[in-house]
Amino acid sequence: MGNMTSKQRAYLKGLAMNIETSFQIGKSSVTPENVQAISEVFNTHELVKIGILKNCIDDPMMIADAIAGRTHSQVVQVIGRKIVLYKPFKDNPKIILPK
C-alpha cells in the first residue's frame, strides 16, 4: 500500500471525526488479542478509531505503528490518546480517496 497524500489524509481525518472509538488499548498495550480484534474490525470498517487508556504507558505513535504494521493498515493520525487507522476493503472499497 502506498503512502497517502496530505489531501487523502485530510479527507480521512474528516471522516474519522464522525466515527466512534471502536477499540481501547489498556495497560497490557499491544497484544496479539488486541491485534486480532482490530483486524476483525477491519472486516467491516475501513476506518478504525482506537483509544489509548491512561493506564497504558506506551507511546501512542509507537502503538499506532505497531498495530498498523500487524494489521496491514495505515496510520491516518495520532492525536493525544486517539489513533485512527485506515485499511481499504480489498474488493469494493467504500471510502473513495480523492486523487
The residues, ordered by sequence, that sit 6+ positions from 9 with a Cβ below 8 Å of its Cβ are 76, 77
Q: CA 11, CA 67: separation in Å to the nearest integer?
A: 21
Banded pLDDT at 85 (limits 50, 70, 90): very high
User: Quick one: average pLDDT of 29-54?
Assistant: 96
pLDDT for 51 beyond 90: yes
User: Quick one: average pLDDT of 26-55?
Assistant: 96
pLDDT of residue 1: 47
Q: What is the pLDDT of residues 7-24, one digit of tens each?
A: 999 999 999 999 999 999
3 state SS of 77: strand
With a threshold of 0.75, does the pTM exceed it? yes
pLDDT for 3 beyond 90: no
Confirm if 77 and 47 have CB atoms less than 8 A apart.
no
CATH fold, domain 6-86, is Translation Initiation Factor IF3 (3.30.110)
Of 66, 93, 85, 90, residue with least CA distance to 9: 85
pLDDT of residue 2: 61
3 state SS of 53: coil
User: Quick one: average pLDDT of 16-43?
Assistant: 95
3 state SS of 55: coil
